[in-house]
Structure 1
Amino acid sequence: MTLAAPLDLLRQARARFTQREIAAHVGKDIKTVRRWEKGETPCPSMLEPALRDLLHSSGRTKAGSAPGDAQFRFIDLFAGIGGIRMGFEAHGGDCVFTSEWNDFSTKTYRENYPAGSDHALIGDIVSFPAEDVPSHDVLLGGFPCQPFSIAGVSKKNALGRPHGFECTTQGTLFFDVARIIAAKRPAAFLLENVKNLLSHDKGRTFDVILQTLRDELGYEVHYRVVDGQHFTPQHRERIIIVGFRGKTSFSWDDLRLPESGPRLGSILHRTDGSEPVLPWDHDRFFDHTSKRVQPKYTLTPNLWTYLQNYAAKHRAAGNGFGFGMAYPDSVTRTLSARYHKDGSEILVYQGEQLRPRRLTPRECARLMGFPDTFRIPVSDTQAYRQFGNSVVMPVMREVARIMLPHVQTLLAVETHNGSKQALSLYS
C-alpha cells in the first residue's frame, strides 16, 4: 500500500516542520527523528499514516505562518475531490479559490480541505464573473470535455479575430477556463482531460483549444499524454496541457517517470494484521477483527454469473468486452465513474473457492494515489464516482514539480521589472 517511502514523507515534513515538531506529532524523541533523517536507522513504515496526517493538516505551511508565506497562489477549477490541488499543495502552493458544482464532491472536498477565511468555494463557474476570481499565479482545471461546436468557423477566422475563443468555444466549459485566463493572466496553467481529447472531432476540438491558448491568449503551451501506471497500479492515460505567460525552457523530458511502477498488491487491504486502523474509516471497508475485507464487496452469485455469461457471449462474437480480473501482481484497467454499477473493469481475484470482489473505496483512493489521511464522507456509490472521475494525484505532483521553477522564474522577472519601472517613476 506504500505510495511514498517513509523517508520521503519525513523529508517532505522536514521542509515544513522542525525535528522537534515532527517528534511531538509521531510520539518519538527528537534524537530518533534525527537518526531517521541521517539514515542511521530506518524510518519505520508504521509511521506513514502519522506523517501523512502531519503533512495533510499543515495546510501546506507551518502552523501560525501567514498565507503570504506560500510559494505561489493557485485556483482549482472543476475541482472534483481535489486531486490536482493536492499535487500542487505538496510543492508549497496556496489554494485561494475553488469551483465545483457537484454537491457530493463538494462535501468530500470540504472534508479534506477546510476553507480558510480568505478562500472561496463556489459552485458552477459558468455564471461566475471572471473579474471576481482572486488574483493567482497558477490556474488548475480538470475541465470536462464537452462537444465543441466549431461548425462554420474556419481556422483563419479563429486566428484573425480578437477574443476569437468566444466564437469557437462558447457553450463549452473550456470557454470558462479561457475567459478567466484572459481576465486574470496567471503566470501558468495546468489543464487535464481524457486522452481522447486529442482525437475528438478528428482533432479539430484540440486544434481550437491550442489556437485559443496560444494564439488568442498568447501563452506558451506544452502537452503530453501521461499514464498513471508509473505511479500507481492502474493504466490511466490522461492528457496534460500546461502553459506559461512568457517564454520558458520547460521540457517534458524533466518528468521522472519510474519505468516499473507498483502493482495492485501494494494498495490492497492487508490481511496479515498490518492493515492500519484509520479512525475516519473504522471498520467501514475492512474488518480489523477478522482481518478481511467486508463481505459486501464480494460479488453476489447472480452478478458474478451475469458477468461471466456476458464475457462469454462477447468472446464468441470476437469482441473484447468483458470483466477485468486483477491479481496482486497486476496493473489494473482504468477505474471509471461507473465502477459502482458492477465493478467489472477491476475485479479482485480471491481464489478459486471465492467469487471476486470489487475494490473498496479506500482501495480506490489508494489506486488514485491519495494518502490514507484522505477522508471519504460520502456513500460508496458516490465515492466510486468521485475516484473514477479523479486524477492520479502523484502524476499531478510530479508535473507540478517540473512546472514550478518556470513559474517562479516568470514571477521573479516580472517582480524585478516592476521594481525597475517603479524606481524610474520616482527618479
Structure 2
Amino acid sequence: MPHTYYDFFAGGGMAGLGLGSEWQCLFANDIDAKKAASYRANHHGGNELLLKDVAMVTLDEIPGTADLVWASFPCQDLSLAGRGEGLAGKRSGMFKPFWQLVRDLHAAGRGPKMVAVENVYGAITSNGGRDFATLAASFSGLGYHFGAVVVDAVHFLPQSRPRFFIIGISGDLRVPDTCTQEAPSSIWHPPALIEGHSLLSAAAKARWVWWNLPVPQMRETTLSDLIEDHPQGVKWHTVSETKYLLDMMTDLNRKKVEAAMLLGTKVVGTIYRRTRPDENGIKRQRAEVRFDEVAGCLRTPGGGSSRQTIIVIEGKKVRSRLLSPREAAALMGLPKTYELPVRYNDAYKLAGDGVAVPVVQFLASSVFEPVIHKNRLALVA
C-alpha cells in the first residue's frame, strides 16, 4: 500500500520525484501554467494537479486523507534578495491560505499525519524571527510535534543550496526514538535556528523536537561531472565576450584564472556578476570566479547576475557560457529523462524555484517513512 501525499506549490513536481515510487500523490496545485505543464509531462499526465491559486482552492477539491502534506511556498519575501516583507508579503504570504486549508482538513476529520514546509534560510530570521515564530505557532496550534532543520543540497549535489525545513508529526502518532535527539546538532541546526527556537512561545517549545538526521555519505559528484561539452539551449561565448568577463575581474580573481591555466588540465569554474565598490568607493560590476567544483545556489533568471556562467579552462584556452538548462536540472537532482521546457528562461526558472530531489529523498528516508512504518506496525499489533 503506497504512502500518500499532497503537494502544494508543486512546481515541476520535484518533491514527488524525491519521495519516489512508494508514494502516491492524491492532490497537487500550482498557479504557474508553464510549471504545471512540466509537472504533467513528467508525472504521467498529472491528473492530480490543480492549476489554481492556493487561496482559491476549496476543501472539496482535495480528495482523501494524506500521510504527508508537502509545501514549498514562495520564498521571495523571505529571501535576502527580497524586500523583507516576510509572511506579510504578497508572495510568501501565500503560507496563510495554505495553512487555512490544513486547518480545514483537521476540522473535517482529515488532518494530515505529517506536514513538511520548505523555504529559504531567511525564513528563520525574517522580521527578527517573528515569521519563524508564526510558522512554529501554526504547527503547535494544530497539535503537531514539530522541529526544523537546515539541509544544504551540497551534501548530495555540487550546488550550495541551504534550505529550511519545518516538519510536524501529528500528536497522536509515535515518533521513533532514532528520529529525535535531546539537543541540537551543528550539522542540521545552525546558530540562527537555535536562536529562533529560544524566542518561541512556551506552547510552541512544549511541542518542539530536535530532529536527528544521519550524516550523509561523502558526495562523489563534482560540478565538472555535470558540465556538458556540447550543451543544448546555450552557446559558448565569443572570444570577445569571454575577454569582457575576464576584464571585469579584480586582480585576485584574475590570479585564480591564471593559476588554473598553469595546471594544464581541464578546470571548470563558475562566474558570478556582483556589484562591488572599487578603491574609490564607486560601485562597479565585477566578475567573481570560484573553482571549488560547487555551483552557487540556483535562482530564477530575473537578470544576468542571477544566471550562472560557466568557465572552462584547458591550458591557455579559456571558454565561457551560461549554465545550460540540462545542467541546471542536474544540479537539482533531476534525471536526464526529465522533460524540460523548451525556452531557456522557463527551464532555468523551473530549476531555480524547485526543491533538490535528493534532499526530499533524504528527509523521507530519515523521518517520514520511519514514522509511517512505526505507526503501521503499531496498528497491526
TM-score of the superposition, structure 1-length normalised? 0.64
2:235 to 297, 305, 316: 297
Shift of 1:314: 2.6
Distance 1:103 1:180 in 2: 22
1:111 to 27, 34, 41: 41
Distance 2:311 2:163 in 1: 24
Tell whether 2:58 aligns with 1:129: yes
Letter in 2 for 1:349: V
User: In the alignment, which residue of structure 1 is the partner of 2:370?
Assistant: 405
SS in 1 for 2:371: helix
Distance 1:138 1:325 in 2: 41
User: In the alignment, which residue of structure 1 is the partner of 2:330?
Assistant: 366
Distance 1:397 1:171 in 2: 25
Bigger mean CA deviation after superposition, 351-360 or 376-385: 351-360
Q: Conserved in 1, the CA contact under 8 Å of 2:311 and 2:318?
A: no
Shift of 1:309: 5.3
Tell whether 2:357 aligns with 1:390: no
Matches within 5 A, 1:2-151: 69-70=1-2, 72-90=3-21, 92-115=22-45, 119-134=48-63, 135-145=65-75, 147=77
- 1:6-63, Cα deviation, whole Å (9 max, x unpaired): xxxxxxxxxxxxxxxxxxxxxxxxxxxxxxxxxxxxxxxxxxxxxxxxxxxxxxxxxx
Distance 2:92 2:323 in 1: 37
User: In the alignment, which residue of structure 1 is the partner of 2:186?
Assistant: none
For structure 1, the residue ranges without an aligned partner over 5 or more in a row are 1-68, 149-165, 272-285, 287-292, 418-427
> Could you say which structure has the larger radius of gyration?
1
- Go from structure 1 to structure 2 and tell me whether the alpha carbon gap of 1:122 and 1:168 turns closer, same or farther (over 3 Å shift): closer
SS in 2 for 1:204: helix
2:95 to 174, 180, 186: 174
2:133 to 202, 207, 213: 207
Q: Conserved in 1, the CA contact under 8 Å of 2:77 and 2:92?
A: no
- Go from structure 1 to structure 2 and tell me whether the alpha carbon gap of 1:393 and 1:407 turns closer, same or farther (over 3 Å shift): same
More strand by share: 2
Distance 2:326 2:36 in 1: 18
Distance 1:258 1:208 in 2: 34
Letter in 2 for 1:194: V
For structure 2, the residue ranges without an aligned partner over 5 or more in a row are 79-86, 106-110, 181-210, 251-274
Shift of 1:295: 9.1
- Go from structure 1 to structure 2 and tell me whether the alpha carbon gap of 1:296 and 1:138 turns closer, same or farther (over 3 Å shift): closer
User: In the alignment, which residue of structure 2 is the partner of 1:316?
Assistant: 278
1:380 to 338, 344, 356: 344
SS in 2 for 1:172: helix
Shift of 1:353: 2.9
SS in 2 for 1:126: helix
TM-score of the superposition, structure 2-length normalised? 0.71
SS in 2 for 1:330: coil
